[in-house]
Amino acid sequence: MFKQKVFSGVQPTGNLHLGNYLGAIKKFVELQKSHDCIYCVVDMHAITVWQDPAELPRATREVTSAFIACGIDPKKHIVFNQSQVSGHAELAWIFNCVARMGWLNRMTQFKEKAGKDRENASVGLYVYPNLMAADILVYRATHVPVGDDQKQHLELSRDIAQKFNNDFSASIQAHGHGEAFFPLPEPLIQGPATRVMSLRDGAKKMSKSEPSDYSRINLTDDADAIAQKIRKAKTDPEPLPSEEKGLEPRPEADNLVGIYAALADVTKADVLHEHGGAQFSVFKAALVELAVAKLGPIGAEMKRLVADPAYIDSVLADGSVRAQALAVETMQAVKDIVGFIRH
């Protein structure tokens, strides 16, 4: 009933890392073959925690460069920054009135990010998932590639779409949109690296905000840095198991095998079939070689693109115009459905 369409976003905050690449951006690239895709640098999400206005444009251009360096084609698909398309904020307001406090109170990411001092968190951080739902649904996107940490937010997006469709069902039909106006967007969370862990601690997610740079591989790291970080990555003293079950009690080993599998486009079972029984010194050397071969060219291309901000800005400007045209169409229909008079 809904045309298949892909939407996803990445925040321009801090360092883009291997988790962002394997959990999200690599999937964005693959989906271009089969779908119309819209990829967004979510600068409005970024400011839910303080961002230095002198730094935000650089971070926005860096994420855009990463999209292109990884293989996203901004001509065939749409690449833009969120703040340039007003429909995101407009629809988010309507969703603020659809979503329930109880739903948002369950969001674990808000609890983690707000920490103990919840009174002092921005209101934006609290309603962040409503804006995320608006990002997706302002294009009536059906599929959303993300890492595992966004699963709960995607479930909320589905709840919001469903409640909007129910609350306004008579008006949706009266305006000729059939039974449902919004699709229930499906998360695409698949493969061996949906949750890449810190290289220093197999119990923590690899993250942009972790103070130790040794915990993550940044997309801009050079070959030496990649090699050093993998060599220093925490492991245990046992050789690799031959079966996936053997990874269960060994989070650090599981993480490195998952990273290898995702970079090589194979399964964890394939990796263990080849490397089962190997000592970490040997497996890490193979992983360094693979990671440098896959990530080196991306980092080099990112550096080249970041040095050409005029080109990056032209990509964002072109994408924003095209995204705006799609969003306006949805917003006109939404305003009619909600009962706002349009002039």
Nearer of residues 91 and 206 to ligand TYM, judged by Cβ: 206
Rounded to a whole number of angstroms, the minimum distance from the CB of residue 236 to ligand TYM is 21
Cβ neighbours around 322 below 10 Å, total: 16
Q: What is the SS3 assignment for 233?
A: coil
208 labelled catalytic: yes
Q: What are phi and psi of 80, to 5 degrees?
A: -155, 170
Residue nearest to ligand TYM (CB): 23
Identify which of residues 143 and 175 has a Cβ nearer to ligand TYM in the complex.
143
Shortest Å distance, C-beta 301 to ligand TYM: 19
Catalytic residue among 151, 163, 208, 234, which?
208
Instruction: Check if the beta carbon of residue 100 is closer than 8 Å to that of residue 167.
Output: no
Name the minimum Å distance from CB 277 to ligand TYM. Answer: 28
Catalytic: 205? Answer: yes
Complex with ligand TYM: residue 148 or 336, whichever CB lies closer: 148
Closest CB 100 distance from ligand TYM, rounded Å: 20
Q: In terms of CB distance, is 132 or 271 closer to ligand TYM?
A: 132
Q: What does residue 116 show for φ and ψ, rounded to 5 degrees?
A: -75, -30
Using CB under 6 A, list all residues that contact ligand TYM: 7-11, 19-20, 23-24, 42, 45, 132, 135-136, 144, 146-147, 149-150, 194-196, 205-206
Residue 163 beta carbon to ligand TYM: minimum distance, rounded to whole angstroms: 18
For 302, how many CA atoms within 13 A lie in the half-sphere containing its CB?
A: 24
The answer for residues whose C-beta is within 8 angstroms of residue 290's C-beta and 6 or more apart is 260, 263, 264
CA dist 194 and 197 (Å) reads 10
Cβ proximity to ligand TYM, 155 vs 336, nearer residue: 155
Q: Of the residues 27, 205, 229, 268, which is catalytic?
A: 205
Long-range contact pairs involving 266-271 (C-beta distance under 8 Å, separation at least 24): 267/192, 268/192, 268/244, 269/243, 269/244
Q: Annotated catalytic, 284? A: no
CB 79 within 8 A of CB 312: no
Q: Which of the residues 113, 163, 234, 335 is marked catalytic? A: 113
Residues acting as catalytic residues? 113, 205, 208
